[in-house]
Amino acid sequence: EDNDDGDFGVAVETRTRTSRPPLYKVMLLNDDYTPMEFVVHVLERFFGMTHAEAFEIMLTVHKKGLAVVGVFSHEIAETKVTQVMDMARRHQHPLQCTMEKE
């Protein structure tokens, strides 16, 4: 048959660069009323810190006004903020936790 179209069939794949999803810093803010031990407990419970790590970060927040307590995907960061804020509200402490794009 005379139906050869001359196509060698070489596959050409283009590689499109994909960007990594943005990361979010979760921050704890200082206040004058939330007990130090409560903050330490929150850091142990929701951020997987040891007691010593949690105590150190709590003191940093207490002295400097705020500290980054972790860096996460948007969804995980939102969950952490909600968990901390719910826990603080349940105990009637004014503790504030926020997130910010890195």
Nearer residue to ligand TYC within complex by CB, 20 or 63? 63
Closest approach, Cβ 93 to ligand TYC, in A, equals: 8
CA distances in angstroms from 24 to 1, 27, 69, 73, listed in the order given: 63, 9, 11, 6
- Minimum CB separation of residue 67 from ligand TYC in Å reads 8
Which of 27, 31, 56, 98 contacts ligand TYC by CB under 6 A?
A: 31
Q: Tell me: does residue 62 bind ligand TYC (CB under 6 A).
A: yes
**Which spans of this chain sit near ligand TYC (rule: CB under 6 A)?**
28-32, 34-36, 39, 58, 61-62, 95
